[in-house]
Amino acid sequence: MKISLGCDHGGYELKEIIKEHLKNKELEIIDVGTYSLDSVDYPDYGGKAAELVAKKEVDKGIVICTTGIGISIAANKVKGIRCALCTNAYMAKMTRLHNDANMLALGAGIVGKNLALDIVDTWLDTDFEGGRHIKRVEKITDIENTL
């Protein structure tokens, strides 16, 4: 599996922890930045990570800022992206099962390292349930395509 990772300065340290964790799981990582604690704008990196997912150059994406809010909003502006901000493993599981989220957003100032890794693992290990949820995900896509 190939994963895009993106963050702003507020998510940099957690991104590096997650990147190492994913590499240890032998996943391929495309890190679109940022690469330091220097102040940057989260839309630049949320958008880059999301574009890779939308173009199917990666399978899924993970984005991180201080709260996860701004970077998830930015990622969700890319057509075809369903980025879910999760603060616990149950949310991560449900957004994969029911929403087929193709991106995960985390808030580095909200979740600690251990919780973040649990969220990431749960999200990556959970498949879309399909069934009655297909119609609902299609309705989300319809909204995106008509506005």
Which residue numbers are catalytic? Answer: 65, 98
The two three-digit tokens of residue 4, written as one number: 């895009």
What is the spatial distance between Cα 113 and Cα 33, in angstroms, rounded to a whole number? Answer: 19
The two three-digit tokens of residue 109, written as one number: 């100032």
What is the spatial distance between Cα 32 and Cα 43, in angstroms, rounded to a whole number? Answer: 12
User: Which of 133, 56, 146 has the alpha carbon at shortest distance from 100?
Assistant: 133
User: Which of 67, 72, 22, 10 has the alpha carbon at shortest distance from 46?
Assistant: 72
Pairing mode, strands 83-85 and 103-107? parallel
What is the spatial distance between Cα 146 and Cα 12, in angstroms, rounded to a whole number? Answer: 35
Pairing mode, strands 60-65 and 83-85? unpaired
